Amino acid sequence: MTEGRSPALTAEHVAIGIEELKARHGPPPWAAALVQTDRYVVTVICQAPGHQNDWHYHLADECWSVYEGELSWTLEGRPEPVHVKAGEWILAPANTFHLIEVHGDQPAIRIAISHSGEYHRHERDDAPPAPPGALQ
């Protein structure tokens, strides 16, 4: 899903809109790096209804702004998923397992802000069980 090209925003190309990214990439799934530095990465992620990612965590906080659609985050230690829609933000604290799922009948687009070099981690000595039906 992640594209192998350079970030969309650079010193030479300093502005872009989500609608332009949608036109470039077409229907979901796709992901486009907007900015990538040695400190952080900003990525636009588009996924189809019903898509869910794997049960994972990161060593650093990760947050998202929802641009379109409705999603939920199942977060370790919370009894119910947190539902987020367009215009809202959500945080997955460091070392917190989480699962993201797209709801409704439209694709969802979210903008992720994460630490450079951080990746999906799936194992931890005290790992909680994955939610039913979650990819692992």
pTM for the structure as a whole? 0.91
Q: Going by CATH, does the domain composed of 18-115 fall within 2.60.120.10? A: yes
Q: Measuring CA to CA, how many Å separate 33 from each of 53, 65, 72, 94, 114?
A: 18, 15, 22, 21, 11
- In the chain the first and final C-alpha atoms are separated, in Å, by 17
Domain boundaries along the sequence of the chain: 18-115
Does the CA dihedral 114-115-121-125 come out positive or negative?
A: negative
2 pLDDT band (50/70/90 cuts)? very low
Give tens-digit pLDDT for 100-121.
999 999 999 999 999 999 999 9
Q: Residue 1: what pLDDT? A: 53
